[in-house]
Amino acid sequence: MAQLARIGFRELVGYDPQGFTIVRGDLPAGNLLRLLKDLRNEPSGWFAAEGEPVELPAPLRDVVPVRLVQVLPVTDPPPFAAPPVAPNRAVFAPDLRAILDDKAGAGQPLRVEVITDRPLTGTDVDRIRSTLLTTYSRVAPNPVTKRNELQAATVEGAVGTVLTLRFLSALDVERFAAESGVVYIRLPRPATETAGAPPAGAPAATAPAAALSATKLADFHQRGNRGKGTKVVVIATEFPGLKAAEGGGYTLDAAGPPVAFLDLTAELSPDLLPAPTADAAQSVGTAAARAARLAAPDASLVLVRVNPASYFQVVSVARFARGDAVFSEAMQSRIAELTVRTEDLKRRNTEAVAEYQEAFRNTSDDDAPRTRREAATKALNDLLLEERDTSAAIARSTALQRATEGLAGATVVVNTLVWDAGFPMDGLSTLSQYVDTGYAGDAVVEPVSRSATRPRLAARPLWVQAASPSIGSVWGGPFVDANGNGRSEFAPPGVPLPKGEWNRELNFLATRGADGTVTPTLKSGTKVRLTVQWRETHDPTAYGGTAAVFPLTVRVFQQLDPEGKTRASDELKEVARPVGGPYRLVAEPTYGIYEQVVEFAAPEDGRYAIMLEGRELYDPRLPALRRELQVNPRIFAEFVGAPGRPVFASFAPAAGGVGVPADARSAVTVAAAGEPQLLGAGPGVALLPKPDLFTDGSVGGSLRGNGVAAGFAGGGLAALIGSGAPASDLLRAIGLPRGGVFAVPDGWLRLRGGP
């Protein structure tokens, strides 16, 4: 290839070399006849070849390399040229750049996630909040009252290096990008829903009585172990069907005790009003809550609604349930906003009253005095309405804060949301690490205190997490470049190639519809986002930068003629690649975590494949200092604004990781039994089996999946804890096998048999 490159040859990508006997590509037409000569002497100068044949590697120096030249009747696709991006736009994610380039949407309010160069402390967040209130504030129409009010950009959440901000205008995002410490700015990454409608042809849902009998919970309940005295918190995005109950609370079903409901979407509104609810008869939250109620009928249920694109809200719930938080970042912003609004109302009230008094000093019927009196009266009345609305918002903030504080003392927290991209995998995210250190599990064992003077430490709650349902949409594994061309093979040589494919460096995409059917093509205009994340080990004594040592690039190709009618079926055309380098999620002295994102819209119906390229860029200067760097990337494919999801049709190993925070060691990760599942804590973690438990994922409802299974298992574990089982190291303490099917162990059933 190096010899061919001397005469301008450009090799095609992803073609079938047929045992390395064929080379395909293009070269300038003027150099075509050079291929008929001895390639070892090409290109030749005036007297001799530019390179001596004896310097060529064997067997090239011993034989004529080119035996046959075939000129194809069709031209090769032109080289892919990524659209240019201005240097000041490289810090923005592709989806955010599209909004900023749209003049119609650039002036609208916008929430973004800012990746910072280091984890933010409380002091850092307070400084940023103060800057936003003073620098990014102006009078703008209130989206609820439609009246002009003083508004400002605010901090919604801060978790690790991810800072969530709300701006009054997308144009303010460009200004903020110049602030120190900003690494990358993107739109909020939404969570993956872990349950949904069953695919066509799925078996009927399991009846509640059958599920209780299969898990032996029916016998457990009959012996008085129904979860009395425990509190189960269920986190989801929607809980449709709740109705206010007499005496307080809400009804989840026609029968059964009332449940508490906390809508945290209200803390994201300047007026503390919850977001509109989805028009659906049932949701993952409702199904998971009913499953938890079925497994623990006497447990207190607290349903917490969060915004699906608000990772920080799940972190807030985790902290409040542990009793570790006082105010969330969003609530602190709301309090700061209400304080500014109150001070502004006081100032305007003083001015309005003075104007009212001055206007009514002249009570004549002339036009000018009468118009002034009318204007002063209207201004004062409007101000009174604003004061009433502000007082109502303050009252809502107080009620919301008290309800949030009521999460403390939880026995079990069930989370139905999971993130497959955007946050550090392999158990290294802030939420996963907090679950490991703050919640019960085999990672942390409660200390035993027999002191008569010191109070006993409160028991840690148990975190029950739904596993990611994105089986098929995730590829994870080591970056293996056996032939040294800088491209990773998606499967080792022993894995057979799928029918009709020829290359382990290509991973074709397919479409899985909402009904579960899989088609091998993407529809024209379908927008796909591909996110690759990897972790690198860094030598703190030799590596001083923050850029990726082993940057990875995802390239997207279209198969020009899958049936091979007019041209070879292995001819590909590149349609997308990332613009700009990878961004850093975590920078530690000994390692860094990076992500690279590529988004593209399928130009036409057809088959598309991805290729993963990478090469170590760090130059140790001295050969003795060179070391081999092994990275384990994880690629997640998703549709943007379209139903269904893309799946890898060629190679999709199950061991791609169960998502965040399901990868936490202390989390009891639950998946629906009998369904294909992602496995493991992540491609960079070995010997940590996930999911921890499997159980029924339908339990009599119209929705099914890992979220419903997590609700059912969470209720069952709450019933076990209520019967005296320890929350710490619960599975081993009562004899539940890790990676097995959830059921009350016979030994514990006999031990806690009751009357």
**Angstrom distances, CA of residue 76 to CA of 492, 605, 739:** 30, 20, 51
The residue with tokens 């927290």 is 413
**Alpha carbons 533 and 425: distance in angstroms, whole number:** 8
Number of Cα atoms under 13 Å in the Cβ half of residue 295: 37
- Residue 265 has a pLDDT of 96
What tens digit of pLDDT does each residue of 472-489 get? 999 999 999 988 889 999
- In the numeric block, which tokens belong to residue 730? 């619960």
**pLDDT category, 581, cuts 50, 70, 90?**
confident
What tens digit of pLDDT does each residue of 85-136 get? 888 888 999 989 988 888 776 678 899 999 999 999 999 999 999 888 888 8
**DSSP 8-state assignment for residue 6:** T
**pLDDT category, 725, cuts 50, 70, 90?**
very high
- Residue 638 has a pLDDT of 96
- Residue 685 has a pLDDT of 92
Rounded to the nearest 10°, the torsion over CA 372, 373, 377, 382 is -10
- Residue 754 has a pLDDT of 54
Q: How far apart are the first and last CA of the chain?
A: 81
What tens digit of pLDDT does each residue of 615-651 get? 888 776 777 667 778 899 999 999 998 889 999 999 9
Question: What are the DSSP calls for 620-667, one per residue?
Answer: -SSGGG--------EEEEEESSSSSEEEESS---S-S---BTTT-SSS
- Residue 667 has a pLDDT of 96
**Alpha carbons 75 and 88: distance in angstroms, whole number:** 37
**Alpha carbons 387 and 479: distance in angstroms, whole number:** 61
**Beta-sheet pairing, 162-167 with 110-116:** antiparallel
**pLDDT category, 444, cuts 50, 70, 90?**
low
Q: Residue 445: is its pLDDT beyond 60?
A: no
**For residue 719, which amino acid is it?**
A
345: CB partners within 8 A, 6+ apart: 383, 386, 387, 390
**Alpha carbons 638 and 469: distance in angstroms, whole number:** 12
Rounded to the nearest 10°, the torsion over CA 268, 274, 276, 280 is 110
**Cα 328 → chain centroid:** 21
What tens digit of pLDDT does each residue of 21-37 get? 888 888 888 888 888 77
- Residue 246 has a pLDDT of 77
Residue 137, strand partner residues: 152
User: What percentage of the chain reaches a pLDDT higher than 70?
Assistant: 92
- In the numeric block, which tokens belong to residue 420? 């497959």
**pLDDT category, 63, cuts 50, 70, 90?**
confident
Contact 651/495 with Cβ under 8 angstroms? yes
| Best-predicted range by mean pLDDT (79-93, 482-496, 654-668) | 654-668
- Residue 7 has a pLDDT of 82
For residues 330-359, give the mean pLDDT: 91
- pTM to 2 decimals? 0.91
- CA-based nearest residue to 490, from 478, 473, 500: 478
- CA-based nearest residue to 661, from 472, 438, 429, 319: 429
Question: What are the DSSP calls for 298-322, one per residue?
Answer: TSEEEEEE--TT-HHHHHHHHHHHH
**Beta-sheet pairing, 507-512 with 518-519:** antiparallel
Give the ranges where 360-504 is alpha helix by DSSP (H): 367-405, 430-438
What tens digit of pLDDT does each residue of 542-560 get? 655 778 889 999 999 999 9
Contact 293/252 with Cβ under 8 angstroms? yes
Helix (H), strand (E), coil (C) string for 330-344: HHHHHHHHHHHHHHH
- Residue 47 has a pLDDT of 54
Least confident among 1-5, 231-235, 289-293, 667-671: 1-5
**Alpha carbons 710 and 553: distance in angstroms, whole number:** 36
Q: Residue 44: is its pLDDT beyond 80?
A: no
For residues 216-225, give the mean pLDDT: 94
- In the numeric block, which tokens belong to residue 400? 């919301």
What residue ranges in 103-180 does DSSP mark as E strands? 110-116, 137-141, 148-152, 154-159, 162-167
Residue 151, strand partner residues: 138
User: What percentage of the chain reaches a pLDDT higher than 90?
Assistant: 60
- Residue 456 has a pLDDT of 54
Q: Residue 668: is its pLDDT beyond 80?
A: yes
**pLDDT category, 693, cuts 50, 70, 90?**
very high
**Alpha carbons 353 and 588: distance in angstroms, whole number:** 58
What tens digit of pLDDT does each residue of 180-190 get? 999 999 999 99
